[in-house]
Structure 1
């Protein structure tokens, strides 16, 4: 047990140390790829940096997930989920990779599927991403990869939905079918192997589907291709959120009214957040530790605080507590305070929310997540 605890602490620390610089790499490369002043070649180079950094982040996340599975700390969060948005987003994400290999990527989505279901949308997106990534990886040029999502059965507020990713790639030998769902197992295990990967994706995906009450299955024939599929029984929900089968969320330079206080000790991340907030034309102040953030908060009025957790002198949690004490003592309205952290282990989000924080953002910061956050707590300029 002590060894498991030590391992968890080590992974948490490593996650923080790697995610902190990754946050800046991904964020700046994203900004550069959208910069109109850059040449087409420069934008392409920035995009390659972004894709490579995201690949590294994906590997880190996979290793953390395997650790959580082994220690019994793997979480599933059931919430309202828009399967249309999730599946369209995943297909869009992999369409470029498919085009690069001249692979035809087909997407069939049953329009009878309810707009809103109760499940773990983030984990389903993770599974579909893993399956599509593998299918494209193991399919030769001018091949075909298909994502099918079909409504099998519907009774009142319950529905049965089948997800399938199939390809006409290299296929899997019969004796390897049972092994591929074990961690670190790779179909191509030679030292000069043609196909990259950690061998974690299918193992994690299988565990996710088991946690959702089903089984990830495979049918495959060498030289003809593979089909990975699972069926989920889900509760449908009546949701008044704006969900559409066709409308996609667009990121725009939305301007917000309000003032943001940021507590962040890493210089690269300070610079990144500055660029993002400047693009939103919003007022802000960035402080390098929790003590300076606390002092700044007492001097001015802020509409939201982005609070890094691991900082010198005064950490984010203690700074948050002292801000809340100051508000209480002076009969001030509580300002939304969002935990901003590179940690990515079980219980982080719950811990910060239970303390009274109003939200949680995990590094690397996703620009779209900031938009969603500000949509909740700030007023948009007309």
Structure 2
């Protein structure tokens, strides 16, 4: 194809009909609209759904993805729009790469974010490799995030709709992956626009509810899942204050998270207490006043740098960060320690920063995502 051919909407200098794109289809409205939109534009669309866990268990669960009814919904969209659709069994991979680490991290007193690991280790690794095996020019997903071309190549940017932005869950996307990925929904202003497109294409998922919980954690009951995955893991222990005085007892550290106030079972105190530490080895839940939850220094490892220049030699940088998905970015200073480790100094203290969560970097002057790392306890 001539280099003079105008770029199509996916950035290739050839007609859509000669551009193959694999769409990662979870069965929800977002990825369904992506597939339908690209098919309507004349692209050579191939839909692929990963079955991540047992069909039978998932059929009865609402608001999940990648199993049961959702696979059927994805297949129905493909049939409606007239493109091929494949289902790949990734149960073993998902269990080993995501669920097992989730369980082990939780048992270690951390607060893991398995959706990030799923994107990193399954969708943007194995599924992306499958897309290349199918000779696809790119892979598209229904994530709300933007890919923009900058002076030095493809950049990752937060979605136009801050309420739908999923950049926190995609910080570990590598430059190589970003070159191959496309995110057609990132520029939309509201979710209503996505649903309107679904209705326009006549998709049965147009009014389908969004997934809410972690796909393999029904009703957000983490402890129940851990008990099933690791029988005998819920070992009783003491609830203690910061001086070690016993205030109560618990049925297992897995029932608690940093910052938790309710459900401690230690009423009668003048001032409310919060979980400030989980000591797995001592089987202790340590509680203290809310002020003890505040922190300004956040140790990070497994850094993924998407900014310009070399991460380590660039020195300290003023950036904005998210230490949880539900809060807007806040000003911070990023200090590299090694190619994979750093410390973030928050200019304003944050409460409840927990090991196992992600700290995502943003350009303070734009929507660009600069990467991020995993919060840990430090040395």
TM-score range, shorter chain: under 0.3
User: Which one has the bigger strand percentage?
Assistant: 2
User: Which one has the bigger helix percentage?
Assistant: 1
TM-score (norm 1): 0.23
TM-score (norm 2): 0.24
* Higher RCO (C-alpha 8 Å, min separation 6): 1
